[in-house]
Every structure is written in structure tokens, then in C-alpha cells.
Amino acid sequence: MDTVVANWTAGVAGWSAEQRRRLAGVNPYVLDSLLALFSAAVSVWSVWNDEVDRPWWVYALAVGTALPLPWRRRRPMSVAAASGLVSVGVSVAAHSSMPQIPVYAVLAVYTVADRGRDWQRMLLLAVVVVSNVVGTRSADGMLFSLLLTVGTFVFGSLVRELRRLARVEAERAHEVGLRAASDAARAVAEERGRIAREMHDILAHAVSLMVVQAEAGPVVVRSDPERAIRTFDTIADSGRDAMVQLRRVLGVLKEDGAGPQLAPQPRLAELGAVAERVREAGVRVRLELPGPGHVLPADVEATAFRIVQEALTNVVKHAGASAAEVRVTGTGDVLEVLVSDDGRGVRPRADRAVSDWSGGRGLVGIRERAAACGGRAEAGPRADGTGFLVSARLPLGAAVLVERARA
């Protein structure tokens, strides 16, 4: 039984939706013209069934009450005024011929209540109430007329409010859709930027070391074969390390629904291997890292690793330095990262501070990584014009501070 009732309800709902779609596609002038014909027929029928034989012009007035209705949506107040004036003529000339339910009046009042301006609605309501009280000859007739016209006005006002609420909901849904599309586009852009930074850090570091080692290998292959062997071993190690990290990145991209939390998260302990490869490239590296008991968030640790890796890559590629120093220290609620070298640097300008120095794509990536963690990074030449300095301050977050307090 429940299934039958559910199927019947679904069928009625579907039929109603289909009927609403069909009605929505009908020209409003055609629909209002049909309503005008119906109203005219009701008025003529009322005159025809009057106890008194009425002349032809009374029939004409009865039809005239419905003539303006096809334009009720476009000019609601004008249509209501025209129909009302003709109705007054019928009431004065042949009051008993007035229909019990004046369809034209119902349609006119409903349309003004739904589509009219506020002053038009209030004016019509006052006129309707006064005319029903003054123009009706019996108390019962007055009450019925008031219930009919005022009820129609209230119903039209309710439809007006529902239509307004529907517009508000539609606008809100549109704004939500735009916001969702904007958030999705922003998320895609951020993810693309994150992947680009990962790929840049992995490839730039590995390829830079491989190029430097490959250029140095032929120079020492005859004079120092052992060093040449170590050089080519370093090239192979750099290539293998880059392949491992690339597989990790590409593996995350292939997984459906994989988020940033699944991305490779290098640790600061791995910087020893990075520093060793840079030493093999001919740059002395002094490395200072936090102790093993130092608690760091995974994202902050990965960001610090990538910043140091990119800075050392730039030392090998551009600085022409013989030595570099890396210091990663935790002070209070901030992790500080400093990478400096003794290379050629960049000649500073008096009108530009170190923090205003833009640099290339790698330095932009350093700033973006620091900003993603809620921190700040700066890169530029030293004040004396010798060497280059990269510094970053990364907040550790409240969770780490609580964990340290408990320890």
C-alpha cells in the first residue's frame, strides 16, 4: 500500500512539474487573453441571468470590464483602474447584474498586489475597502466582498514575497556558485604552484650538481683518476636521488584524491646528504641543524629543507663561492633559516633594500614556500656587496609549543 501511495505521489509531482513547464512556455498575453474571455463570459452570464432584461449596452459594459486584462502584467494599476471604472458603470446602471464573483476584479487586485509599486498597492487596497463598504447594499454582501478582494490582495502579496525570496535565493546560489568556482580555481592554482615548486627544487638541485660535476670530471680524469671516479659517482648519486624524489611526486599525482598531505615531506636530517653533494661540487659547506630532540611540524621542516636546498643550488650555479654556511635554529616559536656564501654576490643599490631584491624563479619559490607556512623569507646580496644571504622565519605553530611544554 505504501508503495502504491508513493508511486501515485511521485506521478502527481512529476505531472505537476511537467504542467508548470508547459505553462511557463505559454505566451503571457495568450494566457491573459484567455482569462479575459473567461471573465467576460462570467459577466455576460450574470447579466443574462438577471431578473430584469438589460439593454445591449449593459452587455457591452460587462464585456468592457474584462477588455484591459490582457495587459494586466505590464500595466497592473492602469488595468485595475480601467476595469474598476467600467465596473462602477455596471454597478450604477444595473447593480443586480453584477457577478457574484467578479473575475476581472480578482485578477486586477491580485496583479497589483503582486506586481505593483508600493504606493499603488496601498492605494488600491484603500479604494477596494472603501468601495466595498460604501457600494455594497447589504452587510452580508459587504462582508463577502471584503473577504474576496482583501483575501485576493493578501494572496497576491504572499506570491510577491515568495517571488522576492526566490530571487534572493537564486542570487545567493549564484554567488555561492561563483565563490565555489573561485575557490576551486584558487585551489588548482595553488596546487599547480606547489607541484611546480617541488619539480623545480628537485630538478634544479640535481641537474645543477650534475652539470658542475660533469664539467669538472674531464679536467681531472687524467691528473687525478680517483677524484674523477668520485665525481662520476656523485653525478650518479644525484641522478638517482632526483629519480627517487620524482617518483614520489609523480606517485602522489597518480593517486585519485591524493592531497598535499600525501606529498613528499623531506626532513632536515636529509640536508647532510645535500651538503655532501655540494661539497663534491667544490663548495665547502658548514651545516648547523637543530638537535634530534627538537620537535618540528612536518610542513615547516619540509619548507626549511626546500629553502636550504634551493639556496645551495643557487650557490653552486651562480655564486662562484668557495664556502657556504647553513644555520637552521629554533628560537622560541620560530624556526630561523640562514644560508650565506662568500661568492661574488650582487652589487647592492642604495635605493633598494635587501628584502626588495626579487631574484629569479627559485628565490620567488623560496618566498612562496615561507608564506605558505605563515612565515617570511628574504634573499639578496650582503650589505658589503660580497656574498649572498637567504633568510627565512617560519612559525612553529601552537601545537608544537604545547607539545614542548608537556615534554
pLDDT tens digits, 158-205: 999 998 998 899 899 889 888 888 888 887 777 677 777 667 666 666
Domains (ranges, CATH) in the chain?
A: 2-135 (no CATH), 283-407 (3.30.565.10)
336-385 per-position pLDDT tens digit: 999 888 887 665 555 444 444 455 667 777 888 888 888 888 888 877 66
User: Does 22 score more than 80 pLDDT?
Assistant: no
108-122 per-position pLDDT tens digit: 889 898 988 889 889
- Those residues whose C-beta lies under 8 Å from the C-beta of residue 26, and which sit 6 or more positions away, are none
Average pLDDT over every residue of 145-155: 87
Listed residue (118, 148, 119, 116) closest to 132, CA to CA: 148
Q: What does the chain come to in residues?
A: 407
* Calpha distance 152→106 (Å, rounded): 6
What is the DSSP code (8-state) at residue 340?
A: E
Q: Which residues pair with 390 in a beta bridge?
A: 339, 379
Please report which residue ranges of 25-138 form alpha helices under DSSP H.
Answer: 28-48, 56-64, 76-93, 103-115, 118-135
* Calpha distance 53→69 (Å, rounded): 27
* Calpha distance 261→259 (Å, rounded): 5
Burial of 161 (0-12, 13-18, 19+ CB in 10 A): exposed
For 333, the 3-state DSSP assignment is: coil
For 295, the 3-state DSSP assignment is: coil
96-111 per-position pLDDT tens digit: 778 888 888 888 889 8
